[in-house]
Structure formats: C-alpha cells, structure tokens
C-alpha cells in the first residue's frame, strides 16, 4: 500500500474520532445480553451506518430476534476476499455487581464502561468503521471486502455464524478472516482453546430432610462429582512443539500476561475446568431428588474431545445415580492458524508502526467464531482490546486502545487488499 493511501486513511480516521467514540457508545446503549440474545437494536444501528454510507446489506434472521447482517463491496481491481467479522450479542449482566449503569456507556477518565465494551462491541464498531472508511476509498483497493455482524456467538452460534456457515457458506468464507475479539493491543490471536461443555443430572428418591437414612441427597452426590471432575485438569496434553517453544519464551510469555492477564501464558497448554452452575433442591428441609451440574472444560490445542470423553466416562462410572451429556457442538475442536501468516504479519507490523509496540502471537483461552473459518481452511486472526474486564462487572475499554485498534484494522485490511 502506498504511503499516500495510508496517510489519507489516518487523516480520515483522526477527523472521524468523535464519531467513532459516539458510535461505540450507541452500540453499548443498545442492550443485547445472551441469553436471551435479542440483537435487533444493535443490528438497527449497524444497518443505519451502512445505509448512511450508501451500502446495501443482507439480513438473515433464522431466529426472529437474532438477525445477522452481511455487507460487501468490490475494489477497483480483482483480488482477494477479506472478511471482517464481529458479534452483536454480549454476556448477561448481574446488575447488583456493577457500580455503573451496564447500558449507560459512561465515558470516565479515558474509559468507556458498559456490557460488551471489550467483548466485543469495541471490536464490532472498529471493524464496521474500518469497512466504511475502506468503502469510501474502494477505487484504490483490489479484491473484495465483506463485513459480517452476527448474533448468538455467546452460545456457539446456532442462529449466528454457525447457521450462516451451514446455509450461506459462500457469503462467509473469503480468503482470510479478521476479527476484533479481545486480544489486547499487545497480542494477536491466531488460535484458541475449544469449549467442551457438559451437563450432568443426578437423581435420587428424595424425601423429608430429617430422614437422611431414607434417600441419598442429589446435591451431595453432585458436590462429589464436581470435586471428582477436577481430575480432568491433570490430563497430559501434547500441544505442537513449535507452539510450546513460543509460549515458553520468557519474554513472549511476559507480554502475553501483560496483555491478556497474569497467568494466561501458563495455562495455554492445560485443560481447565469451571463448574459454571450447580442447581438442585426444593427447600431446606427436603432431601433433594435432582441436581444439575453444568461444567465448562477448555481443551488446549493437541487435545481432542475423544480423549477427554474417555476420562469423563471413567469418572462418571463411580456415580451410578448420575447421567451426563455433551451440550457443546460435536464438531468443535481447538483451532489455530499459521502464527507467521500474512495477516499476522500485517497486524503486527501495522500496530508496531502506529504505536511503537510489536504485538506477540497468542493462543487464547476462550472460544470465538473465528474457529468456523479455520475449520473451513481459512486463516483467521483477532486483534482487539484488552480482555481484562471481559464478562465482569464494570466492563470497559480504553478509548485510546479502541482508536488504535480501529487504525490497525483499517490499515492492515487495506494492505491485505493491496497485496
């Protein structure tokens, strides 16, 4: 890409700074927690921005409250197809934990607060605005650029990206995928662990709480199962040697921890377990006849669902009063793209040029829609804000990080389409 085009894009972005901040605030003020997953208000804002720029969009709504928005344009010359993907749904809110209005989008001391600020409405806003700026200069680009704003990412995408891949794959694939999922400006995500979710149901006869000799307690059994499941975190894993060499490098590991949170690098190759929900019982003085456990197990690269399944089966054999099932999509596996791929190099070089700090490649702990592109052979990378407050109370994003990410998305995308 010529220096003239890069300079012109940066001037446009600087002139548009206030609008960029305001657009992110607008997105945050449109609640879209999943569950229930209603993203219509966010989709309306996305569509309004596209239409104001003279762009048409395709809306695909397999679920009436979960629309997916797709827009594309062609450059002046034939070339490659780059896809920019973001999701519109966010985690639900425990309002009592927040000191600020989770839907207020308050700007305070350089940070914007709100549910989805880092996961991933900042990334969504950045990708959309990058798409609009590049559309305005499409006569100087080659190939095709597609923007997708999808629903239902927080629950594996049966009404979102996964549905689109199953029914409208030609619209989604492209030659490369760029996401704005949280990574921190210090890291570029090229791979991720896979969520392996299971539900366990324990049943017992139940009875009066004083008659503990009459029946076992479903909740007590569930507690023992939850403890026994910790054994999965001790499963030996076998990630590729080149990945392990990268994350054992002290300097790289330190930068990963600085960007993604202390301890991140160390558990990239480990199986982890979270007992997300344990619910059962009717009343304090009633022996529980049923209890349900929902567990979130994360598989590192190099560990398969089949391998983990055999360990869980051995654990559950000791609990005849319980049954279990997998509730995450059966095809999901850990995924990764070339850590030295072209888009990785473009993102790293561009971020370094803009900020004087070279991001490092990282495999992240949470799952994203990027896996779907990787499953279809398309390299997929994510560069977004810090995940430090992701999913927590008072979720926020630094304004300067958001604007840096917007500049990086815009220039790296332009450079990919000018190659």
Shared domain check, 37 and 135:
yes
Whether 28 and 177 map to the same domain: the answer is yes
The last residue of a domain, from among 262, 294, 326: 326
**What pLDDT score was predicted for residue 366?**
86
Instruction: Report phi then psi at 283, rounded to 5.
Output: -165, 155
Give residue 155's pLDDT.
86
User: Read out DSSP for 137-201?
Assistant: TGGG-EEEEEEEEES-GGGT-TTTHHHHHHH-HHHH--SEEEE--S--TTEEEEEE-EEEEEEEE
How many angstroms separate the CA atoms of 380 and 341, rounded?
A: 9
Instruction: Please check whether residues 107 and 179 belong to one and the same domain.
Output: yes
In-domain check, residue 257:
no
241 found inside a domain: no
Residue 183 lies inside a defined structural domain of this protein: yes
Sign of CA dihedral 5, 6, 10, 11: negative
| pTM flag (> 0.75) | yes
pLDDT score recorded for residue 1: 53
Supply the CATH number for residue 202's domain: 3.30.70.360
Q: Are 198 and 184 members of one domain? A: no
Among candidate residues 326, 357, 389, the one where a domain is terminated:
326
**Is there a single domain that holds both residue 157 and residue 173?**
yes
The reply to whether 84 and 208 lie within a common domain is: no
* Full residue range of the structural domain in which residue 286 is found: 194-235+271-326
Residues 30 and 170 in one domain: yes
Whether 84 is in a domain gets the answer yes
Quick one: 374 and 319 in the same domain?
no
Question: How far apart (Å, rounded) are the C-alpha atoms in residues 110 and 32?
Answer: 24
Structural domain contains residue 246: no
Residue 399 lies in a domain: yes
Sequence-distant (6+) residues with CB within 8 A of 81 are 143, 144, 145, 146, 173, 174, 175, 176
The answer on 349 and 221 residing in a single domain is: no
- Whether residue 126 is contained in a domain is answered as yes
Report if residue 49 sits inside a domain.
yes
Domain boundary among the residues 279, 307, 326 is at 326
- Shared domain for 290 and 187, answered yes or no, is no
Q: What is the mean pLDDT of each run of 10 residues along the chain (419 residues)?
A: 83 97 98 97 98 97 97 96 98 93 97 97 98 96 98 91 95 96 96 94 95 94 97 91 82 92 92 96 95 96 91 97 93 89 97 95 91 96 95 96 98 93
Which residues partner with 189 through β-bridges?
Answer: 362, 382
Residues 155 and 218 in one domain: no
Domain count of the fold of the chain = 2
State the CATH number of the domain containing residue 380: 3.40.630.10
């Amino acid at each position: 890409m010529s220096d003239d085009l890069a300079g012109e894009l940066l001037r446009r972005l600087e002139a548009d700074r206030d609008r960029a901040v305001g657009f992110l605030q607008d997105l945050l003020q449109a609640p879209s927690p999943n569950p229930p997953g209603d993203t219509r208000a966010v989709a309306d804002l996305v569509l309004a921005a596209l239409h104001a720029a003279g762009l048409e969009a395709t809306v695909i709504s397999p679920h009436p409250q979960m629309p997916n928005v797709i827009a594309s344009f062609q450059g002046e010359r034939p070339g490659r197809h780059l896809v920019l993907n973001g999701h519109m749904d966010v985690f639900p809110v425990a309002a009592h934990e927040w000191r600020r209005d989770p839907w207020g989008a308050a700007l305070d001391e350089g940070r914007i607060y709100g549910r989805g600020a880092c996961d991933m409405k900042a990334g969504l806003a950045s990708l959309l605005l990058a798409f609009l700026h590049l559309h305005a200069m499409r006569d100087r680009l080659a190939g095709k650029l597609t923007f997708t704003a999808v629903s239902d990412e927080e629950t594996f995408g049966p009404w979102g990206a996964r549905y689109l891949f199953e029914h409208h794959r030609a619209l989604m694939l492209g030659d490369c995928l760029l996401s704005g999922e949280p990574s921190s400006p210090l890291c570029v995500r090229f791979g991720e662990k896979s969520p392996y979710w299971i539900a366990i149901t324990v049943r017992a006869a139940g009875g009066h709480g004083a008659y503990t000799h009459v029946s076992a307690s479903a909740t007590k059994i569930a507690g023992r199962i939850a403890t026994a499941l910790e054994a999965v975190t001790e499963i030996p894993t076998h990630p590729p040697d080149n990945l392990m060499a990268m994350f054992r490098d002290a300097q790289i590991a330190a930068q990963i921890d600085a960007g993604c949170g202390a301890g991140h690098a160390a558990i990239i190759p480990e199986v982890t377990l979270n007992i997300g929900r344990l619910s059962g019982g009717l009343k304090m003085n009633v022996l529980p006849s049923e209890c349900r456990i929902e567990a979130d197990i994360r598989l590192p690269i190099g560990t398969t669902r089949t391998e983990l399944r055999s360990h869980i089966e051995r654990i559950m054999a000791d609990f005849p009063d319980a049954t279990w099932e997998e509730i995450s999509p059966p095809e999901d596996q850990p995924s990764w793209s070339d850590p030295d791929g072209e888009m990785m190099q473009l993102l790293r070089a561009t971020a370094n040029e803009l900020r004087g700090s070279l991001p490092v490649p990282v495999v992240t702990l949470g799952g994203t829609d990027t896996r779907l592109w990787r499953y279809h052979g398309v390299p997929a990378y994510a560069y977004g804000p810090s995940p430090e407050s992701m999913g927590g109370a008072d979720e926020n994003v630094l304004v300067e990080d958001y604007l840096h990410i917007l500049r990086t998305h815009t220039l790296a995308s332009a450079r990919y389409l000018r190659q």
